[in-house]
Structure 1
Amino acid sequence: MSEIQAVLCGYYGKGNGGDEALLVSMLEMLPPQVKPLVLSADPRGTSKSYGVRSADRMNSGAVIRALRESQVLILGGGSVLQDATSLRNSIYYGGLLGLAQQFGLQTIALAQGIGPLNQPLTRWIAKRAFGNCTAVSVRDSASAALLEGWGIPCAMAPDPVWRMAATPVPAIASIPSPKIAVTLRSHPNLTNQRLDLLTKALVDLQAATGSHVLLVPFQPTTDLNLAEQIQAELTDNSQVVVLTDPQQLKGLFQGVDLAIGMRYHSLIMAAAEGCKCWAIGYDPKVSKLMTEIDIPGWELADLPTDASAIAQAWQQHLKTGTALSSASVRTISQQSLTHQHLLTATIAKIAVVSN
């Protein structure tokens, strides 16, 4: 079968551990005849880390060259078409899909978490972009319902990071239990007052349980300062852990007793590795995940105002809570293969037409 070049696009090269994990998952899914070319904010780093060709995602000349020499564009996972942060995301990715389609490329959108789409313009962009795709898969029922309402067929399956291979981190594995991993991110609702509450609760939790606290910035450019602020208030039995390899990020949770997370993919990685989880919802995708796999937690806007109550809830979950069963993890991981099956079948059809 002849080789097919596919442009992979997403929030890649920005140092976000969750999006880099999606890129690893997408590369793992590719059929052997597909040669990837990744659009990245850091093309040199992406090429070095993953051994693939890469081009600057913001260099219009490089993007156009990549499209002209390719047959397929794959929009690879995550909440990239949304307007919660700004209109730019939907305009960029919707425009890229539209440009690829104008150039005659087949476009595939995989493992999408669509929205929020609060503006008429972004809803129009998303409807047009997904409606013209060769194939679409989503990672949650709300995204599937949105596309169904627009008359756009799609497959639905859990996020592909559930299946991503994990690399153990010996330095973390050797730390005595109990171990607690914390993944916070900056957000308008994470006010200084709420950050102080969470910090005080972690101090109380550590004092009550003798836990070793791992503060994990999933995107160091935005999360590291938060992690360092909290670590400064804890005992020496704590550390900030910066890992750039997404498979090591997932492996970090092996043997961790409790993960307290805002980051969506940190909760998936922790649950997949058998860790008890407590979610702090800042975005609908986290709220959906809490419901889907029954993770306890709070919405950030509804965080309790008593640090001791927060610490007591965490301590009780650490003591008596349960992790997702290994059977459930296997089932979810198996279900997530739907994205790969869709990709493989679509590429096979494209190859037949190309030949």
Structure 2
Amino acid sequence: MNKIVISGFYGFHNIGDEAILKTLTQQLKKLDPNVEITVLSHSPEETMLKFGVKAINRRDAFKVFNAIRKSKILLSGGGSLLQDDTSARSIHYYLAILKMGLFLRKKVFLISNGIGPLIRDSNKRKVAKILNKVDHTTVRDDNSRQLLEEIGVKPSKVSVSADLVIAMDMQPKDVGEKILKELGIIDDSRKRLAIAIRQKDFRTEEKRAQLIKLANELAKKHSVIFIPFYYKNDTKIYEDIHEFTDSHVYFINNKYNSDEFMSILQNIDMLVGSRLHSLIFSLVAEIPFIGVSYDPKIENFMDMISMKPVCSMSTFSSEVIIDAVEALEDQYAVKKLEVLEAKKTLRKRLDINDIMLKKVL
């Protein structure tokens, strides 16, 4: 029996990472129906219940060591695990897990990782040293591969794939339609526009004023829905701005799983997002979107599909985004076709993951 340990940012109620884990475990079970999967999770019981896998506390070093010792394969990913921009500690955690797998002489792979930013030279050296020892790494964008090669990882050790969420299936639309109606969105004459941002980027009064202005201006013609891709943080935007927004601005605050989120997006006409997986969900749901960057991973993803963010968080402007929404609506049919073509292209890139996993299993 193949025993696999999966390491990643799991069990934190992040919709993007939930979707990553779901698609990855489904693919592993498809390739080997008897595979035994153990996930390192922040919420092990919840992970077991949601995904039908074994799970252990990712911070219990003894249990983690034993799980890897008993396994055949260690998979790290997907997501942006190897970066030292948002946290100085997380990169050391994920490198320690990889070193544990190498120490125990397991097959060690990184799958569909986004690499960087890597700011500290010491971390660049550590990443290069370890990734030159693992069996193989697939990254989710061309810029991640370029970064790895720049810091000294052998080109033969790295292949370019795509984000694992690209493999996610579309869902029945009635689930999302019901959720939106329960939210009070019943006016079918209005187009629906979703906004998916990080609440932490709007903590200053100036930034919040720009966001309120954006929501209210768009609400003159649209039903505007704030969607939280990371519950712990993003639902707080409701407390910050709801009393200043118009009647056609709505906030999703209840918890839904990744399939329900996909169904919601399939009932939306367009999305403005700075959360990476809000853009990827939109692509899978086949709806046009506008990207706002807070991190190079946004540019990296949009580069893969020949698009660019309309602005960054440092230059966030309601006027710029409103103009982009109007331009998108003027070319909606063309933009829809571009999304369909991009989805097809990225799904083809995922084949490299299948080839790697088949060899391993």
Q: Same fold (TM over 0.5)?
A: yes
Residue in structure 1 matched with residue 39 of structure 2 by the alignment: 38
Matched residue type, 1:71? K
Query: For the Cα contact (< 8 Å) 1:184–1:217, is it kept in 2?
Result: yes
Matched residue type, 1:117? L
Q: How far does the alpha carbon of each residue in 1:117-143 deviate from its partner, in whole angstroms, 9 at most, with x for none?
A: 100221122112211111210011111
Q: Secondary structure at the match of 1:313?
A: helix
- Unaligned 5+ segments in structure 1 are 348-355
What CA distance in whole angstroms lies between the structure 2 residues aligned with 1:42 and 1:288?
Answer: 30
From 336, 343, 347, give the equivalent of 2:357. Answer: 343
Q: 1:289 to 1:256 in 2, by over 3 A?
A: same
Pairs aligned (count): 341
Identity of aligned residues (%): 26
Q: 1:202 to 1:238 in 2, by over 3 A?
A: closer
Residue in structure 2 matched with residue 216 of structure 1 by the alignment: 227
Query: For the Cα contact (< 8 Å) 1:5–1:36, is it kept in 2?
Result: yes
Q: Secondary structure at the match of 1:253?
A: helix
Residue in structure 2 matched with residue 351 of structure 1 by the alignment: none
In the TM superposition, residue 296 of structure 1 has moved relative to its aligned partner by 4.6
From 345, 350, 358, give the equivalent of 1:331. Answer: 345
In the TM superposition, residue 28 of structure 1 has moved relative to its aligned partner by 1.9
What CA distance in whole angstroms lies between the structure 1 residues aligned with 2:136 and 2:320?
Answer: 47
Q: Secondary structure at the match of 1:39?
A: strand
Residue in structure 2 matched with residue 67 of structure 1 by the alignment: 68
Query: For the Cα contact (< 8 Å) 1:80–1:113, is it kept in 2?
Result: yes
1:7-86 aligned within 5 A = 7-30=5-28, 31-32=31-32, 33-86=34-87
What CA distance in whole angstroms lies between the structure 2 residues aligned with 1:327 and 1:140?
Answer: 17
Residue in structure 2 matched with residue 278 of structure 1 by the alignment: 290
What CA distance in whole angstroms lies between the structure 2 residues aligned with 1:186 and 1:173?
Answer: 21
Q: 1:115 to 1:62 in 2, by over 3 A?
A: same
From 205, 208, 212, give the equivalent of 1:199. Answer: 212
- Deviates most, 81-90 or 141-150: 141-150
Q: Secondary structure at the match of 1:97?
A: helix
Query: For the Cα contact (< 8 Å) 2:293–2:309, is it kept in 1?
Result: no
Query: For the Cα contact (< 8 Å) 1:189–1:300, is it kept in 2?
Result: no
Residue in structure 2 matched with residue 182 of structure 1 by the alignment: 195
What CA distance in whole angstroms lies between the structure 2 residues aligned with 1:119 and 1:226?
Answer: 32
Residue in structure 1 matched with residue 316 of structure 2 by the alignment: 303
- Unaligned 5+ segments in structure 2 are none
Q: How far does the alpha carbon of each residue in 1:221-266 deviate from its partner, in whole angstroms, 9 at most, with x for none?
A: 1111114434333333332224431122222211311101010011
What TM-score do you get using the length of structure 1 for normalisation?
0.90
What TM-score do you get using the length of structure 2 for normalisation?
0.88
Q: How far does the alpha carbon of each residue in 1:302-335 deviate from its partner, in whole angstroms, 9 at most, with x for none?
A: 223xx44543432332343423342332232122
